[in-house]
Structure 1
Amino acid sequence: MNTPRTLTGAIAFALLGLAATAEAQSGADARTLDRVVVEATRLRGVDGFDTPASVTRIDLGEEASGANVQASERLGGVPGLLARERQNLAQDTQLSIRGFGARSTFGVRGVRLYADGIPATLPDGQGQLSHFNLAAGDRIEVMRGPFSALYGNSSGGVVRITSAEGVQPARVDARITAGSDDSIGASARWLGRAGRVGFNLAAGVFDTQGYRDHSAARRESANARIDIDTRGDDRLTLVFNHVDIPQAQDPLGLTREQADADPRQAVAVARQFDTRKSVSQQQGGATYAWRPSAAHEVALSTYGGQREVEQFLALPAAAQGNPLNSGGVIDLDNDYAGADLRWAWQSEWAGRPAEWTLGANTDRMRQHRRGFENFVGDTLGVRGRLRRDERNRVDNRDQYAQAWWQASPRWSLLAGARRSEVRFRSDDRYVTAQNPDDSGRVAYRETTPVAGVVFHADDDLRLYASAGRGFETPTFNELGYRADGGAGLALDLRPAVSRNFETGLKWRTGDGMRLEAALFRADTDDELAVASNVGGRSTYRNAGRTRRQGLEASLEAPLRGEGRWQLAYTRLQAEFRDAFLVCARSGCTVPDTPVAAGTRIPGVPRDQAFARLEWPVAAWRAAAEAVAVGAVGVNDLGTESAPGYALLHLELSRRWVLRGSTLRAFTRIDNALDHRYLGSVIVNEGNGRFYEPGPDRSWLLGLEWNLR
């Protein structure tokens, strides 16, 4: 499927949306709109509707008919955001916002992630979604645009998940699912309150054989949140999180020919080396909010955690004959911690409502990285000799300020700035006559101002504009090797610096309809790009200027009888504005192939559309969901791409009200039309195995029990 067909599908979605809107206006009962405050804006008393920022809030308390395991299940309707499930728990979900983060081959880069206030993005900008616990969750907030820069390094967008608070009377939620590919999931949550203490305890397990060969995985998670009202309005919140992925097989990517011949297959080297990954992570945090008066709040947050990763790669033994090679087994021990101190004031200034925030933040990571050969003698896929041993450290020290002011009944202003310092240090403990000392250090400093204005056209319409500056440092993985093949860190890499602009509107009606639309542009200098892939090593360089610009729109409307219609569309043009050189052949170490100015940035579709229609009939609820994604480039040269696709998903559920509880049975059919498609891509994969096929028609059955 090509981009024009995708765009045609998006237009069809829009026409259906207009029809649904008309139905909503004629049949929905008017109701008073609730005030919705979103934490992502860091404003205590300002509705997200009144801010000059694109922020989407997803209510995780709503009925879900999916496996409820991956965050990508709940992010499909967010404009500007692309969450691609890779059918590979060894590599995590691909996530990008307005094109930021699209270059990541594993984990998440360029986007800031938070779970209950604890960063899931390390100070160097590398993050992961694997420990987001949907069973415990209350909501997910997604911020796009200039104001994301107030979160510091690698904040092309922000995704925050927040656990539910304890309630009285207490409730217990239990859920079990079974589906295609021998997938089984189970989770339970206990929400309650005893006096001044509220609690949320949740745990879940998911086990699957995987859609593709050699992609079996198991994921176990637990989450706890405890809120203690200490005195007056003061509160202490404690959070704990655990995730264990004992072994997730990695089927690796496929060439286009392999994907067309058999999308379920794993490449031969995946079996030869038994490519796999194991992850164990534990973390905890505490926040104390002190409110000495109605106008003032002082909040201190601290956190700490440990993440252990072991990964077996399909690196040929011959490539490890190079004395500079770090081996085919990665062993990472990460210890991380941080603190944030924030003062907020909310009152009036010059007779008009105002709110100010001042804060300071520090995060640190201590990493022990070791590399081993992935063979012993003729036995492949086992840990062999040590080939790398280094201690890495990265720290940030940031200060930030933000001010909001209702300057007049129709105008409000929001402005802020953040000063960031990010310091890297690596101490090499594996030094031989053939492998010189790779130790080194580097520091990056940047100030990111942002400002925006909102015009209150009437009670239900806001027009706004905002502008800001953002930056993204290289991660430790990108600093690890020099493009010229020399020893030491790639200290010549510079942070990418972006200038971001956005203008948009927000409209709502008394019957619950919401429409948001935005035009945006981000111009980046010193964009980071791959220089070469040789012997399992990726090196990076600054590729010059890039531009990401486009529009995004979303519409939500109620239907008669508590039904709902949802529509989202994104048009994104992302391209390199300067020509640069890359390696385009096996064994190349010196970039020699030009990438022309105007080439599309890989990993970014030009068009993306989402539509969902829900309608209840008595105790039954049905839903239809359509997703369309345009063609996606897979390499910087723009010589290959994954074709676009459109998918249809169907849901049906039935609810029974029992004494003191409810029982819900549900089923979901994904890719109901059994369309063959390439669900995700591995950008600039050195062996040309760019493609990760999406599953054919699949099913899921589930039961959910709620006891109050």
Structure 2
Amino acid sequence: MAQSTAPTAREGGFLPPVVITGTAPDRQRWLAPVSMDIVEDEEIRAGQLQVNLSESLGRVPGLVILNRQNYAQDLQVSIRGFGARSTFGVRGVRLFVDGIPASAPDGQGQAANYPLGSAQRIEIIRGPYAALYGSSAGGVIALYSNEGNLPGSLRAGVAGGADGLRRVSTQAEGSMGSLNYALDASDFATDGLRPQSAASRDSGYFKLSRPYDDGRVVAIINRQIGSAQDPLGLSRAEFSANPYQATPTAKTFNTRKSFDQTQVGLAWEHRLGGGHRFEFMTYGGQRAVTQYQAIPATTQVAATSPGGVIDLDRSYGGVNARWRLDRQFDNGLLTGRLTASAGIASDRQDERRRGFENFTGPAANPSALGIQGRLRRDENNSATTVDPYAQLEWESTDWTATAGVRRSSVRFTSTDNYIAAGNPNDSGSSEYSGTMPVLGLRYRLSDAMQVYASTGMGFETPTLNEVAYQASGATGLNSQLAASRSRSSEVGLRGRHVGLAWTATAFDIRTDNEIVVLSNTGGRSTFQNAGRSLRQGLELSAEAQWGTVNVTSALTLMDATYSDSFRTCTVSPCAAPTLVIPAGNRIPGIPARQLFVQLAWEPKTVPGVFTMEVRHVGPIAVNDANSDEAGAYTVVNLGARFQQTFGPWQLKEFVRIDNLTNRVYAGSVIVNEGNGRYFEAAAGRSAFVGVELVRRFD
């Protein structure tokens, strides 16, 4: 059930970036003045492919998470409109796995990092309190994996279906003496929905923990390698003619991406007595990416062009140290619970970014396309953050009051190693800083109903990718690009009754210096600051049990518009923006409405669970000019899952049919794509099956 709660320090996860209290999940959902949803392990895995976050998070209000059917560009993710401008990866939304950031210090992240096969829960934070996770945190998606303890278990599963999709995975959990372990390994591949969209990914996740009398130590290692072709988006004409084609340019340049990532982490928690606790987390990793883009050879002959092949080698790491106090008072005059925390987090990424031509021979008549040619870019970039923070909470039977503040300082530096005629030294640096205070209040109206409200300020820096190009399209930090700042408020009601739990939240977000696209052409974007923007909306979620039927629903209504007019470019390079974007235009990438309804029927006479999902998404503007949009759609998905037990063995099977009516629609859009190739087709009617064998060791 998706309900409101707050970040906690429960068993099963690493040190969370923010702690409000350490109470149990059900109690905390009810008492905290924060908008947050929890999706549990059964909802994540049962009857699901366990490949993409979008499979199980559609039930979360305020969250847009769309499958691009393009594994070279990741999912399209935004929370209350934050992150909607991203054309690839995830930005504006902070990602965590067991407390370790899956987002870089500059705010860019990858949703593919999540080990869904061993997930214990996924927590999604919306609203003002997300800012306490750092800059560029318009929302937070945090996965916590299984801890591993007795009794142990071993799981092995396979799944497959439409478009040649296949997934093989195994999970092992248990204890060896005082050590708990959890292992998750998976292999995924697909032929792709469209030509030039095949992908493969191998993942491994190992977690080792050792509890002791006054605390515990946890170590994690995560390894992932993969490759994916990129079919690019389709123009309106191409989409209308055949939504399941790839634009010819994708095949001409063999657009594709490969990556290799390894990450390790260590956390330590120790109780000091008197309700005091010390917590420490550190992590580090390496990520290498090579990507071939569809940039015409003649475009790359400009002296300042960085070419059409990206070669990125990044190392990253960070620490988070925190003191916590958790104390209960019951002296007649003062009855309640006081929790406090203070700490400092610091993260750093260092990368070597090179660019090569994606052709050989003369640009006017290349001898080959889609292969690595001459070096055109070579620079060393870094991003560092230093964030002190503090929180205080008082909780009694009727009231919860919380206050927190985080100060974020972000610094980007770039050292240019490629200097040639017409391409000067573009070395430079940019600094951003902001203070993010938040306040929250919860009041018990009755045993069955709570009202809550929170307000705060957010701070979003551009990513290194967004400052990597100047207005002209040349490489070099865009020092004119400022951070955006937002003021966010929400008020909500939540209730629980026999067989029913529900939440209703209204929010208002006002942003200054909104970061928007200046130009986007040839796979390269430049950015600028517009004026103000406004996001207002209503989120409703409910879960009801009627006999053998469980109903889960979520509705989001959102009005996201630019409050001030601004100018943007229609071509690149752009000497001066000429296209006026009027005030009142919709912010692209954000649907005005979303609805999710799931019926799960578990009949007493048949050993199985049968589900029907209805998902509706409203129209989505494709660009700031609102010149086109992806149309609204409604799809129906059916599923069934079964389980048999044979002593210590369990056999689980599932079958599902997505898009039962074979609706043809654009499942996502590439926002402000300069060539007008905005549209990414969703899959038609698709069938999938899976089986899992479980052995428990009691």
Please tell me the TM-score bracket, short chain as reference.
over 0.9
Partner of 1:553: 540
SS in 2 for 1:639: coil
User: What amino acid is aligned across from residue 284 of structure 2 in structure 1?
Assistant: G
> How many Å apart are 1:660 and its aligned residue?
1.0
**Which of 648, 654, 659 pairs up with 1:666?**
654
Q: Of 376, 393, 398, which residue of structure 1 is paired with 2:382?
A: 393
TM-score with structure 2 setting the length: 0.94
1:640 Cα deviation from its structure 2 partner: 0.7
SS of equivalent residue, structure 1 residue 291: strand
Paired with 2:475 and 2:113, the residues of 1 have a C-alpha distance of 35
> Post-superposition shift, 1:641?
0.5
CA contact (8 A) 1:534 1:588 kept: no
Q: 1:36 to 1:125 in 2, by over 3 A?
A: closer
1:181 aligns to what?
163
Q: 1:283 corresponds to which residue?
A: 263
The reply to whether residue 634 of structure 1 matches residue 622 of structure 2 is yes
CA distance in 1, matches of 2:680, 2:372: 27
Q: More relative contact order in 1 or in 2 (CA 8 Å, sep 6+)?
A: 1
The equivalent residue for 1:295 is: 275
Give the Cα–Cα distance (whole angstroms) in 1 for the partners of residues 511 and 47 of structure 2: 40
Match for 1:84 among 50, 62, 66? Answer: 66
Tell me the distance in 1 between the aligned counterparts of 2:387 and 2:312. Answer: 26
For the 8 Å contact 2:310–2:353, the answer to whether it is kept is yes
1:58 maps onto 2:39 in alignment: yes
Distance 1:258 1:586 in 2: 23
For 1:99 and 1:351, how far apart are their aligned partners in 2?
Answer: 40
User: 1:9-51: CA deviations, max 9, x gaps?
Assistant: xxxxxxxx9xxxxxxxxxxxxxxx9x99745661333413211
In the alignment, the residues of structure 1 paired with residue 473 and residue 676 of structure 2 have an alpha-carbon distance, to the nearest angstrom, of 22
**Shift in Å at residue 405 of structure 1?**
0.5
Please give the per-residue CA displacement for 1:206-256, whole angstroms capped at 9, x wherever unaligned: 111011111011111010111101x313100111111111x2000000011
2:614 alignment partner, SS class? strand
Q: Distance in 1 between matches of 2:599 and 2:523?
A: 46
Tell me what 1:600 maps to.
586
Does residue 1:243 correspond to 2:220, yes or no? no
The one of 338, 343, 349 aligned to 1:365: 349
Percent identity among equivalent residues? 43
Secondary structure of 2:645 counterpart: strand
Contact 2:521 2:673 in 1 (8 A): no
Residues 532, 590 of structure 1: 8 Å contact kept: no
- Structure 1 gap segments, 5+ residues each: 1-16, 18-32
Give the match for residue 372 of structure 2: 383
- Residue 116 of structure 1 deviates from its aligned partner by 1.2
Find the residue that maps to 1:149 and give its secondary structure: helix
Residue pair 1:56, 1:78 contacting (<8 A) in 2 also: yes
Question: 1:495 offset after TM fit, Å?
Answer: 0.3
Return the letter of the residue paired with 2:349: M
What displacement does 1:261 show? 1.2
- Residue 289 of structure 2 aligns with which residue? 309
Task: Say whether the 8 Å CA contact 1:532–1:589 is kept in structure 2.
Answer: no
- The residue matched to 2:384 in structure 1 has which SS? strand
* Preserved contact between residue 436 and residue 487 of structure 1 (Cα < 8 Å): no
SS of the counterpart of 2:51? coil
CA–CA distance in structure 2, aligned partners of residues 666 and 487 of structure 1: 50
Q: Is 2:94–2:137's contact at 8 Å kept on the other side of the alignment?
A: yes
Q: Is 2:473–2:573's contact at 8 Å kept on the other side of the alignment?
A: no
1:436 counterpart letter in structure 2: P
Alignment partners' CA distance in 1, 2:648 and 2:629: 54
- Root-mean-square deviation (Å): 1.7
Pair 1:515 & 2:496 matched: no
Match of 1:583 in 2: 569
Three-state SS of the structure 1 residue aligned to 2:660 is: coil
User: Which residue among 665, 678, 703 is the counterpart of 2:691?
Assistant: 703
d(CA) in 1 for partners of 2:7, 2:308: 48
Gaps of 5+ in 2: 10-15, 362-366
**Cα shift at 1:493:** 1.0
**How far has the Cα of 1:537 moved from its partner?**
3.4
2:181 match? 199
Q: Kindly state the Cα deviation for residue 296 of structure 1 after the two structures are TM-superposed.
A: 1.4
**Aligned partner letter, 1:370:** R
Matches within 5 A, 1:15-94: 38-39=8-9, 42-46=19-23, 47-62=28-43, 63-94=45-76
Q: What is the deviation of 1:533?
A: 2.8
Residues 667-698 of structure 1 show CA distances to partners (whole Å, capped at 9, x for unaligned) of 01000011111000000001000000101000
Q: CA deviation at 1:653?
A: 1.8
Q: Check whether the contact 2:253–2:292 (CA below 8 A) recurs between aligned residues.
A: yes
Instruction: Please tell me whether the aligned partners of residues 535 and 559 of structure 2 are also in contact (alpha carbons under 8 angstroms).
Output: yes
Alpha-carbon deviations, 1:170-206, whole Å to 9, x = none?
Answer: 1111110110111111111001012321110110011
Q: 1:519/1:330 Cα in 2 relative to 1: closer, same or farther (>3 Å)? A: same
What secondary structure is seen at the aligned counterpart in 2 of 1:529? Answer: strand
Question: Equivalent residue for 1:23?
Answer: none
Greater alpha carbon shift after TM alignment, 40-49 vs 693-702: 40-49
- Give the 3 Å change call, closer, same or farther, for CA 484–374 of structure 1 in structure 2: closer
Q: 1:485 to 1:84 in 2, by over 3 A?
A: closer
For normalisation by structure 1, the TM-score amounts to: 0.93
**1:427 Cα deviation from its structure 2 partner:** 0.2
The alignment of Structure 1 onto Structure 2 pairs a total of residues equal to 671
Aligned to 2:252: 272
Give the letter for the 2:232 counterpart.
L
Deviates more, 1:689-698 or 1:191-200: 191-200
Residue 212 of structure 2 corresponds to residue 223 of structure 1: no
| 1:374 maps to 2:358 | yes
> How far does the alpha carbon of each residue in 1:594-642 deviate from its partner, in whole angstroms, 9 at most, with x for none?
0000000000000100000101123121000010000000010011111
Tell me how far apart the structure 2 counterparts of residues 153 and 580 of structure 1 sit (CA, whole Å): 25
The CA deviation at 1:589 is 4.0
On the 8 A contact 1:38/1:48 being kept in 2, the answer is no
**Structure 2 match to 1:259:** 239
Shift >6 Å, 4+ stretches? none
SS at match of 1:61: helix
Identify which of 528, 548, 569 aligns with 2:555: 569
Three-state SS of the structure 2 residue aligned to 1:382 is coil
Paired residues of 2:6 and 2:36 also in contact (CA < 8 A): no
